[in-house]
Amino acid sequence: MVHLTQAVFAGLVAWPTVISAAATDKKPWPQGVSLKSFIGTESKIALDGVLANIGPNGARVPGAGAGIVIASPTKENPNYFYTWTRDAALTYKTLVDEFLFGNKALQPYIEDYIHSQAVLQTVTNPSGKLLPSGAGLGEPKFNADGSRYNGNWGRPQRDGPALRAIALIEYANYLVKKGEKQRVREVIWPVIANDLNYAPQILCFLNSAFWSPTSSVGGGHLLGNINIGSPRSGIDANTILGPLAAFDINAPCDSPTFQPCHPKVLSTFKVLVDTFRNPSLYPINSGIPKSKGVALGRYPEDIYYTGNPWYLITLGAAELLYNAVARWEKQGYVSVDKTSEAFFKTIYPLARAGQTYRAWPLLNSLSPFSAILRAVENYADSFVGVVQKYTPSSGSLAEQFLKTAPGTPTSADNLTWSFAAFLSMNHRRERQVPTSWVPKSVSLPAQCEGTSFKGTYAPATGAGAPELNVTCQSTILFQVNASTYYGENIYLTGNSPDLGNWDLSQAIPMQSTNYTQERPLWFAKVPLTAGQNVEYAFVREQDCGQAWIWEDQTQANRTVSVPACVEGEEETVRGETDDAFRGKGGSSGGC
């Protein structure tokens, strides 16, 4: 299972790995406006906000390709003028919903997305290529015009393909129902098939490895990450955002697909929320009673922009609760067990493990069942109320708002995913639910596959992807000792197309995860066409926009011969180099 050892709560949502305040509008939303009126006004702003960030005509993102979702128009501190596969997929999942709920004007946007993603799947990037291994699908981000992003980044990130499949499957099913089966088979399915092949075994692993029975605030929770050797607690908002993407109103709460009303999800919800209730972590949450929503961030150890609350997570919390209520309404009962009891007691102190609260055939509004549903719904509304409190008067939603009063918006402004999260929250509040997808019975293998599963991949030419040539490749592990300062990076370049033909914009960013004082190691695993001799060199990328530093060019170039390949084992390392950077070190520009 090459894809899951460091997988995140998968299918589901991984955070970008960040290497390191731009939001401008600070005037708060007017006081005394009802939640309903706020939601009505903000929903329109949110839809406009999403569309303004999609190329080719989005008003805030000139230069973006057709169907390309830009994460945010903010270009500095931080620069989010890129497209992330994750953000784009979640945005389009919401747009497909919005289309299915009646906004027919969105169809051209969806068609542009399909085309753009078919092409993006084939763009060779620092995570790899589409062919033959599918490794390139794990690349988290691309430039606004759809070209490869060559900077240093946390890669690969495994959640993008699965989320994109979710968005496209819902649209494809709609077309099939309308009788357009053949178009789906020829145009959309090939895109989906690549993404599904990249994400096998997720359900099995989620059910076997991602649960912690205890936490620092009591109660069990789903783990945000495993096997990464990180000191983090694993309490992470991606475990409540994942179930939003998996929601199916026809699936029972105990489905292994982790529905919003699953006891483990509800317990996770409580652990996450209680973690952020801590006023020493988030001062703006101090004094809020336990039955009311609070501002939520990614994980308690977060230091990005000092680790603030995010709009999309606080909105996601509300959405999760609306989803759960919708399911309970539909099935006509709420079951409380040991795992979910603590969650229910937050909003309904009489709840007891082992009880099932059923809808009454008569005078149901007086039943404990109704009381629980109303309490959860009010709890959900209170999270939206938190967002209302920290939304500026223009309605623009940044990525974050400060954890200290007055909760000023910060980081990237007009974040597409924040707007999409608002729309999606509102759909669920209005009981507009996505198309059902969970099969009648879902069974898990007794044991998850322990070894890597190889998918098969092909360019989705029916949707406009270019034809690709497959060459049999062998992976070389390039290793170089190169002392660097914080902010400096090492790249690998060379005379083959796989190494960018000496063009630095196509060079391979190397990884420093094993760098130590004793061994300043930078490495990259690169599949290269078998049977050739390749010339290569290392280059320093200095900070602050200073010139790149090439290795000493007076000596003969380094060469490596690429051994014969074995079909199906392109990712196995078949050769390695052990080099030391030739020439002088860099110096920080001090910016």
Ligand X SMILES: *[C@@H]1O[C@H](CO)[C@@H](O)[C@H](O)[C@H]1NC(C)=O
Rounded alpha-carbon distances, angstroms, from residue 171 to 48, 109, 184, 459: 21, 12, 9, 20
**Burial class of residue 303 (count of CB atoms within 10 Å of its CB; 0-12, 13-18, 19+):** exposed
User: In the complex with ligand X, which residue's Cβ is closer, 20 or 469?
Assistant: 469
Rounded alpha-carbon distances, angstroms, from residue 540 to 113, 156, 497, 579: 36, 22, 20, 14
| Smallest gap from residue 23 Cβ to ligand X (A) | 8
Task: Describe the crossing of helices 368-389 and 311-331 by its angle, rounded to 10 degrees.
Answer: 160
List of residues 6+ apart from 25 with CB closer than 8 A? 392, 393, 394, 396, 409, 413
| Smallest gap from residue 556 Cβ to ligand X (A) | 6
| Smallest gap from residue 55 Cβ to ligand X (A) | 15
Residue in the block written with tokens 């006509």? 332
Q: Alpha-carbon dihedral of residues 82, 86, 89, 92, nearest 10 degrees?
A: -60
**Cα(368)–Cα(334) distance, integer angstroms:** 10
User: In the complex with ligand X, which residue's Cβ is closer, 414 or 496?
Assistant: 414
| Smallest gap from residue 77 Cβ to ligand X (A) | 11
**Cα(27)–Cα(395) distance, integer angstroms:** 10
Asked if 52 and 420 count as a contact pair (C-beta separation under 8 A), the reply is no
| Smallest gap from residue 524 Cβ to ligand X (A) | 9
Residue 569 tokens, joined: 């084992």
Asked if 535 and 558 count as a contact pair (C-beta separation under 8 A), the reply is yes
The verdict on whether residue 417 carries a ligand-binding annotation is no
User: In the complex with ligand X, which residue's Cβ is closer, 150 or 335?
Assistant: 150
User: In the complex with ligand X, which residue's Cβ is closer, 376 or 537?
Assistant: 537
Q: What is the DSSP string of 306-367?
A: GT--BHHHHHHHHHHHHHHHHHHHHHTEEE--TTTHHHHHHH-TT--TT-EEE--SSSGGGS
User: In the complex with ligand X, which residue's Cβ is closer, 81 or 379?
Assistant: 81
User: In the complex with ligand X, which residue's Cβ is closer, 322 or 523?
Assistant: 523
**Cα(400)–Cα(236) distance, integer angstroms:** 16
| Smallest gap from residue 392 Cβ to ligand X (A) | 8
Nearest one of 44, 49, 39 to 396, comparing CA atoms: 49
User: In the complex with ligand X, which residue's Cβ is closer, 182 or 501?
Assistant: 501
| Smallest gap from residue 579 Cβ to ligand X (A) | 5
- Other Cβ atoms less than 10 A from the Cβ of 575: the count is 14
User: In the complex with ligand X, which residue's Cβ is closer, 19 or 573?
Assistant: 573
Helix (H, G, I), strand (E, B) or coil at 187: helix
User: In the complex with ligand X, which residue's Cβ is closer, 87 or 377?
Assistant: 87
Give the CA count within 13 Å in the CB-facing half-sphere of 554: 2
Rounded alpha-carbon distances, angstroms, from residue 482 to 175, 268, 519: 54, 43, 9
Task: Describe the crossing of helices 107-120 and 159-177 by its angle, rounded to 10 degrees.
Answer: 140
Helix (H, G, I), strand (E, B) or coil at 578: coil
Residues of the shown chain interacting with ligand X in the complex, contacts defined by CB under 6 A = 24-25, 60, 73-74, 394, 396, 413-414, 468-469, 477, 481, 502, 514, 518-519, 523, 535, 537, 556-557, 578-580
| Smallest gap from residue 483 Cβ to ligand X (A) | 11
| Smallest gap from residue 557 Cβ to ligand X (A) | 4
User: In the complex with ligand X, which residue's Cβ is closer, 55 or 73?
Assistant: 73
Give strand pairing partners of 579: 480
User: In the complex with ligand X, which residue's Cβ is closer, 328 or 523?
Assistant: 523
**Cα(96)–Cα(168) distance, integer angstroms:** 8
Q: Which residues are annotated as a binding site for substrate?
A: 153
Q: Which residues are annotated as a binding site?
A: 153
